[in-house]
Structure 1
Amino acid sequence: MRYLLVLLSFLGFQFFGFAQQQSLDLIPVPNKITYGEGTYTFVTTGTPLYITESFTDLGVLLSEYPQLKISTTEILKKVGKKHNQGIRLFQAEDIDKIGPKAYRLTIDNSGILLKAHNKEAMLSGLYTLIQIGLLQEQPQYIPQVTIDDSPRFSYRGLHLDVSRHFMPLSFIKKYIDVMALYKFNVFHWHLTDGAGWRLEIKQYPELTQKAAWRTHASWKDWWNNGRQYIEQGAPNAYGGYYTQEQAKELVAYAASKGITVIPEIEMPGHSEEVLAVYPHLACTGKPYTQGEFCIGNPETFVFLKNVLDEVLTIFPSPYIHIGGDEAEKKHWASCDKCQSLKKKENLKDEHELQSYAIKQMDEYLQAKGRKLIGWDEILEGGLTKGATVMSWRGEEGGIKAANAGHDVIMTPGEYLYFDSYQTDPRSQPETIGGYLPIDKVYAYNPIPKGIEKDKEKHILGAQANLWAEYMPTYQQVEYMAFPRALALAEINWTNQENRSWVDFKARLQKHYRILQELDVNYYRPSYDVRSEVTFHPDRKSNTVSLTSEQTNPVIFYTTNDAIPTSKSTRYTNPIELAGSHTIKAASFIDSFRVSAVENIRLDIHKAIGMKVYYNTPWEGYPAQKELTLTNGINGGLTYQDKQWQGFTKDIDLYVDFERREEIKSVTMRFMQMPGPGVYFPGVYKVYLSDNGKNYREVGVITNYEDTQDPKLRFKTFTYTLDKPQMARYVKVVATNPMKGYLFTDELIIY
């Protein structure tokens, strides 16, 4: 009996180990995966590799598979019966019924068989195999499986701005390595902008002798202190550039991994660095006066075409990105040359003047066999037939372009700008602003509503953008890019119906180890407690759900104002509480608290459900309109969550209770984030009235908070009356001395 128990225990262990292998945890998840029984074991002396001629140069990538040794390599003109074991990279045939962009990976007792029709698809299969190896604790043992897979979108992009901060070539190669592993196929290299020109152009040496170097290392310091350029070699010179040979080296390196490099050369705006060294191309003829090329000056187009001629010899990509965004048009409106051109070409306005410039460059690129990409501003004033649009200001530009028959790449800032905060901004290094956690990235679908069904084919895919104002080092770039880029990888590759956030989050846990092994400085999931509050107006109660970025967080909480400990109530299910409460919650490992204490305030107050009347209306951010400030729901970490109402003037509003009520306190909470121009009010005043005409001031709070601290902060302004007073109307005024935005989420009256 003892021996039987031992045997059963052994068999049970083996079965459990096999069951664990039933989930490969791949990202992006394949569109079809069939598990076999058992595993395949690599021979320690080495495994033979057979490659058909069309894939000869791809076998070298197998060196990225951990613990895989190739004993012999044979290039095959024809596959024979003897080539039925080991690792095989074979050209697909019609009988295989594999799509033109698809691959089939089969792992069984004979070894590994990869089939595809072309290099692009074979590379995708190879990186699936490499990822399988990286995910195994013992990569010499891999599960038997068949994967049939192909991408949802043809364009799967990741961007990097090297103008604001120059990045070493060695890092960009590493960036490419991680991209390839997760099936990205386009690297958008933002090489020029006002903060620095980064590519050697031999005909214009001053672009790299001076326009590539600035006076301050910190972009923010440079921006706030003159925005001057400086000669290379000067003691304070900060910047850098890539030689043409280095750029060609990167292009070849990326191509070997299935990635196309698309360069971006900014025009007609964001060109302050060019005009500082070639001021005759500006409308004013003077440096440091504008950022837009003079469109009425023929020499502008000579310069731009000469630059593009050299760019085209470096980058064989079918697309060239020309920017086209955020051009300030006031100089064109007052420039004799631009106005003369406008009149000559019968252009209505400066938008059409910009469109004229874009069309000139588009026609030039098309004559060279290339295609133009630009940000969605290139739609203004009309667009040439062959141009492709990157939709970044939301989805509207992409919808408009696709419905008009233009190809589109979706890059909306709300979902795909990875320079936004990815967790509570109060705990993070400064960024440009915004709030974009990984679950919101994953929720994005690049086919937006509003696109006609037969025009969906014009959505080529999606791309995330990393603007580097606040990314001075490559480590910070990695921190902002990963793991959010993995969510985008699955958006672009996996069919929409096969995607699940819950499943992705579970698989993601295994990929942190891969990122560690690749020495990527990724953002680690936070232990901080997040809350989601649902207000039930019918029963005047709140249901509170608690979680964190951990997969299975251990959270303890209290409702009696005590700091939670491991002896407090453990959170297991959503909590429903009637009346006003404050929940304090924190994450624990064993008996030790590993997060700050989160305070969740639940206010069941007198004004809930009452209509708010606005003497000065909201602007830009309506949230829930008149229902926002008395709906019983507090705002979250971002003013884009539809619970924060935004005002650009003084707030002046009131509530009519329709009968006299006892008023004890009046509270409003405000947000401050100076980067995007969000500030606390200067003065907060409370008034009461019985008739809605004659108001008496009952309280004033003056704010003395620092307006320069870049961190996100919240401040609650509560005026408590010395003695309760009766009133029908409660009015609040909050002044806006900074002339930015005031954001508030709830008017709480007790």
Structure 2
Amino acid sequence: MTRRLPTFVLAFACLCAGVTAALPAAAQARDGVIAVIPQPAQVTPGEGRFTVGADTPLVVADGDKATARTAAYLADLLARTRGLRLRVQHGPAPAHAIVLQRDPQAAVAQAEGYALDVTPEGIRVSARDDTGLFHGAVTLWQLLTPDAQHGPVTLAAMQIRDQPRFAWRGLMLDSARHFQSVAEVETLIDQMAQHKMNTLHWHLTDDQGWRIQIKRYPELTRIGAWRTPPDAGRNGEPKRYGGFYTRDEIRQVVAYAAARHITIVPEIDMPGHAQAAVAAYPQLGVTGKRPEVSIDWGVNPWLYNVDDATFTFIDNVLDEVMALFPSTYIHVGGDEAIKDQWEASPAVQAKMRELGITSENALQGWFIGRIGQYLDKHGRKLIGWDEILEGDNLPADATVMSWRGLDGAIKAALLGHDVVLSPAPDLYFDHVQSDLPDEYAGRLGVKSLQDVYAFQPVPAVLSAEQARHVLGVQANIWTEHIPTFAHVEHAAFPRLDALSEMAWSPPAARNWQGFLARLPVQFGRYRAQHINVADSAYAVAIGADRNLALATGKTTVTLSNQVGQEAIHYTLDGATPTPTSPRYDAPFNVTLPTTVRAASFAADGTALAAPRERVLDRAALLNVSGDLLQNCRGADFRLRLQPLPDAKSAQPVYLVNVFDTCQELAPTWMDGVTRIHVDAVRLPRNFALAHEQKLVVSRPHATAFGELVVHADRCDGPVLASLPLPDPARSARNFSLDGALPAQQGEHALCLIYTAPIEGALYAIGQVSLTP
């Protein structure tokens, strides 16, 4: 399948063609480190080498169908990524072959473990179970793709003994907020398998969409699977957004994952995040009214009712879900259920009195407990977000997924419940990976590749006995701000590499510098499979002393990237940097005008990121992107938003604070500046803030639709300009504001505040231009 990638990703792919491993094959074995992610538990170097070529047979030695499937998978993967087409044969192994065998006496006893031996006579992969053999085949594939070349590969002799650290190695995909095709979900599953991840948590229902066909309740997908976007039919926004997976498609995806030894855990959210279900069947809700399927991100108020008819519906839905998904665990959500509707309902309050329940939080505990009992009767286990700990009815075998930091995990383990660590923001992949101008939409603050790699999955306060309740870790890809699958890939990769090593490798095998040395090889594997991998960790940030440049016509330039170890080369004439361009070793001085372009390079001279550019002249230095504006003091929440929530786009992106449209421009040399020009944008205010709505700042406005007010130095400083906003009904989404500024000398900050009514659109700034 061919897919169009963003321009800078394509440039990166072209520059990086031919990336080779930082560790040559012979050195890999000697050092006990191999270019594999996740790093195996134990690697012992051997003597000699073995070359795998087109004439090397791939032998299924045990006659087992599962082994044959693993051999076919390995052969197909090698053919697609290395152009190396191995013939699969059955029976006794000839000399100089690759042998796959499920063996009860294999050297690794732990489930999912495997043994891999490379000798001058051949390669042997063995395991005691089918899953371990599959993982061994994946490791062998990585060994056989040490660079971007095609054809034969020579491996150093080695002995690998490997098994996972954690039983739950998960990734959550949110298909409720934005919908992915079956092919796209399968692409993600492929990459999970190549990283030895074993659990796809599939978020299938929420306020914004119901994505799973339930035969007994057709309205769930006829109505609940579709929403009308805020700007339906305008500027590229679809008139109708949504979709769902048929029962046959669900079966297909489940089988596809199972063939790659991945279990899919479905999530059917309750008692909150139920608006799409209530839109389909209003009697399921508390009020009896039919809402629209939500277009608002955040916390919506719609809850399931607590009467017997609602539980009959939920039980029937779970029956069909369990028939489609063979997983032991069924995820029931349980998060962010604000209780306003329950509090206001006489019927719900009467039910609480009947049950002897004195709080709505305890009622949620009773609700979840009832669902847990139903799942128990059907041989399944309940798992939910850490709010399920509220109340006293949680089944003893229920598992808690801790998302509100580590507290939920600690509490669950102390109470004897198994737990999966999935905390925000540490493992929330909808957080952006960098603060670079070309970063995709998402939540701030930045959660870099190194941040993910450094996460410690077992809370230090737990004893060894309590720590046994930690089943593993999971990262979450919430898709409120991730409308396309290319964006899903950008959010996931390469952070999934860090996650996989955290989840699989023993702590002693984890090393940040070693991980970075192996990552360029993995980038080559991504390119061979057309994966839209983010280069944020290696991308160069170009810093300059802006005010020095404006005052003197000269400035000091600094170059940096997140990883801090790769060589950075740069040019000053706008040319594409190469390894022969000047190397950055220390800040340097330039005279305006100049154009700085810079890129990071591996030790062998291959590029690790697309070049980034900064133009340094007076006009450019007085043009400030909205990305560089800071929130006003006391307002920390920030998002990078696209102008159309459901459009298939990645750019442009605007930085906003949904609680307070007040931003500050850092002190700027203002000599000669007499005018301000602002590229402004009107965005949908599609945020359900629940009880936090009271925190949204409303300001008086002097004109009909509000204005952009420019203050000097402080947000309560003198007003320099007040720029009226146009009529939203008669103006384009993007518009310009211009005004005069009184003459100023020296450095001054500017505070820019929108006063538009908060009942209407959300306003953001694309660029601020100061001009003579």
- Is 1:242 aligned with 2:245? yes
Deviations 1:611-652 (A, max 9, x none): xxxxx994779xxxxxxxxxxxxxxx9999xxxx99979999
Give the Cα–Cα distance (whole angstroms) in 1 for the partners of residues 248 and 99 of structure 2: 36
- Is 1:89 aligned with 2:101? yes
Q: Is the 2:25–2:156 Cα contact (8 Å) retained in structure 1?
A: no
Deviations 1:207-241 (A, max 9, x none): 1222222334xxx647999x9xxxxxxx9544222
Give the Cα–Cα distance (whole angstroms) in 1 for the partners of residues 528 and 746 of structure 2: 64
CA distance change for structure 1 residues 60 and 698 in 2, over 3 Å: closer, same or farther?
Answer: closer
- How far apart are 1:722 and its partner, in Å? 6.0
**Aligned twin of 2:509:** 498
TM-score by length of 2: 0.70
- How far apart are 1:351 and its partner, in Å? 1.1
Deviations 1:334-376 (A, max 9, x none): 1122101111112121111111111111111111111111112
After TM superposition, the structure 1 stretch with the greater mean CA deviation from structure 2, 120-129 or 451-460, is 451-460
- How far apart are 1:187 and its partner, in Å? 0.8
- How far apart are 1:51 and its partner, in Å? 2.1
Q: Is the 1:447–1:459 Cα contact (8 Å) retained in structure 2?
A: yes
**Aligned twin of 2:74:** 62
> For 1:341, which of 331, 346, 351 is the aligned residue?
351
**Aligned twin of 2:650:** none
Deviations 1:486-518 (A, max 9, x none): 111111111223212222122111111111111
> For 1:597, which of 605, 614, 618 is the aligned residue?
614
Aligned length: 641
- How far apart are 1:306 and its partner, in Å? 0.4
SS at the partner of 2:145? helix
**Aligned twin of 2:430:** 419
Q: Which has the higher contact order (CA 8 A, sep 6+)?
A: 2
Q: Is the 2:577–2:598 Cα contact (8 Å) retained in structure 1?
A: no
Give the Cα–Cα distance (whole angstroms) in 2 for the partners of residues 90 and 263 of structure 1: 30
CA distance change for structure 1 residues 704 and 585 in 2, over 3 Å: closer, same or farther?
Answer: farther
SS at the partner of 1:166? coil
Give the Cα–Cα distance (whole angstroms) in 1 for the partners of residues 633 and 481 of structure 2: 34
- How far apart are 1:573 and its partner, in Å? 4.5
- How far apart are 1:523 and its partner, in Å? 2.0
> For 1:324, which of 318, 323, 334 is the aligned residue?
334
CA distance change for structure 1 residues 104 and 359 in 2, over 3 Å: closer, same or farther?
Answer: same
Question: Which of 1 and 2 has greater Rg?
Answer: 1
> For 1:275, which of 275, 278, 281 is the aligned residue?
278
> For 1:314, which of 308, 312, 324 is the aligned residue?
324
**Aligned twin of 2:226:** 213
- Is 1:450 aligned with 2:467? no
Which segments of 5 or more consecutive residues in structure 1 lack a partner in the other structure? Answer: 1-14, 76-80, 228-234, 534-541, 578-582, 600-615, 622-636, 653-663, 665-671, 688-694, 712-717, 725-729, 743-750
Give the Cα–Cα distance (whole angstroms) in 2 for the partners of residues 84 and 650 of structure 1: 69
Q: Is the 1:68–1:140 Cα contact (8 Å) retained in structure 2?
A: no
Give the Cα–Cα distance (whole angstroms) in 2 for the partners of residues 464 and 649 of structure 1: 31
- How far apart are 1:425 and its partner, in Å? 5.2
CA distance change for structure 1 residues 17 and 212 in 2, over 3 Å: closer, same or farther?
Answer: closer
**Aligned twin of 2:36:** 26
Q: Is the 1:546–1:574 Cα contact (8 Å) retained in structure 2?
A: no
Q: Is the 1:355–1:382 Cα contact (8 Å) retained in structure 2?
A: yes
- Is 1:132 aligned with 2:135? no
Identity of paired residues, percent?
32
User: Where do 1:362-511 residues align within 5 Å?
Assistant: 362-382=372-392, 384=394, 385-424=396-435, 426-511=437-522
Query: What letter matches 2:416 in structure 1?
Result: G
Query: What letter matches 1:311 in structure 2?
Result: V
SS at the partner of 1:37? strand
Give the Cα–Cα distance (whole angstroms) in 2 for the partners of residues 223 and 291 of structure 1: 27
**Aligned twin of 1:74:** 91
Which segments of 5 or more consecutive residues in structure 2 lack a partner in the other structure? Answer: 1-22, 293-299, 545-555, 617-631, 638-652, 665-670, 672-679, 688-695, 699-706, 735-740, 765-772
Q: Is the 2:208–2:227 Cα contact (8 Å) retained in structure 1?
A: yes
Q: Is the 1:52–1:90 Cα contact (8 Å) retained in structure 2?
A: no
Q: Is the 2:399–2:419 Cα contact (8 Å) retained in structure 1?
A: yes
SS at the partner of 2:158? strand
Query: What letter matches 2:264 in structure 1?
Result: V
Q: Is the 1:528–1:586 Cα contact (8 Å) retained in structure 2?
A: no
Give the Cα–Cα distance (whole angstroms) in 2 for the partners of residues 529 and 620 of structure 1: 26
CA distance change for structure 1 residues 140 and 648 in 2, over 3 Å: closer, same or farther?
Answer: closer
CA distance change for structure 1 residues 461 and 223 in 2, over 3 Å: closer, same or farther?
Answer: farther
CA distance change for structure 1 residues 528 and 116 in 2, over 3 Å: closer, same or farther?
Answer: closer
Query: What letter matches 2:173 in structure 1?
Result: L
SS at the partner of 2:161? strand
Give the Cα–Cα distance (whole angstroms) in 2 for the partners of residues 463 and 387 of structure 1: 17
Q: Is the 1:398–1:409 Cα contact (8 Å) retained in structure 2?
A: yes
- How far apart are 1:38 and its partner, in Å? 2.9
**Aligned twin of 2:314:** 304
- How far apart are 1:399 and its partner, in Å? 2.1
Q: Is the 1:527–1:594 Cα contact (8 Å) retained in structure 2?
A: no
- How far apart are 1:466 and its partner, in Å? 1.3
RMSD of equivalent CA atoms: 5.1
CA distance change for structure 1 residues 498 and 252 in 2, over 3 Å: closer, same or farther?
Answer: same
Give the Cα–Cα distance (whole angstroms) in 1 for the partners of residues 144 and 538 of structure 2: 29
Deviations 1:179-203 (A, max 9, x none): 1011000011111112221111111
TM-score by length of 1: 0.72
> For 2:161, which of 148, 159, 168 is the aligned residue?
148
Query: What letter matches 2:101 in structure 1?
Result: L
SS at the partner of 2:272? coil
Q: Is the 1:547–1:553 Cα contact (8 Å) retained in structure 2?
A: no
- Is 1:180 aligned with 2:193? yes
**Aligned twin of 1:284:** 287
Q: Is the 1:617–1:647 Cα contact (8 Å) retained in structure 2?
A: no
After TM superposition, the structure 1 stretch with the greater mean CA deviation from structure 2, 418-427 or 57-66, is 57-66
Give the Cα–Cα distance (whole angstroms) in 2 for the partners of residues 358 and 273 of structure 1: 20
Query: What letter matches 1:246 in structure 2?
Result: E
Query: What letter matches 1:177 in structure 2?
Result: D
Give the Cα–Cα distance (whole angstroms) in 2 for the partners of residues 49 and 88 of structure 1: 5
CA distance change for structure 1 residues 71 and 266 in 2, over 3 Å: closer, same or farther?
Answer: closer
**Aligned twin of 2:566:** 552
Q: Is the 2:542–2:614 Cα contact (8 Å) retained in structure 1?
A: no
- How far apart are 1:454 and its partner, in Å? 2.5
Give the Cα–Cα distance (whole angstroms) in 2 for the partners of residues 720 and 293 of structure 1: 57
Q: Is the 1:33–1:147 Cα contact (8 Å) retained in structure 2?
A: yes
Deviations 1:135-173 (A, max 9, x none): 354444333211111111110111111122222212222
Deviations 1:697-730 (A, max 9, x none): 878576889999999xxxxxx9997699xxxxx9
Query: What letter matches 1:176 in structure 2?
Result: I
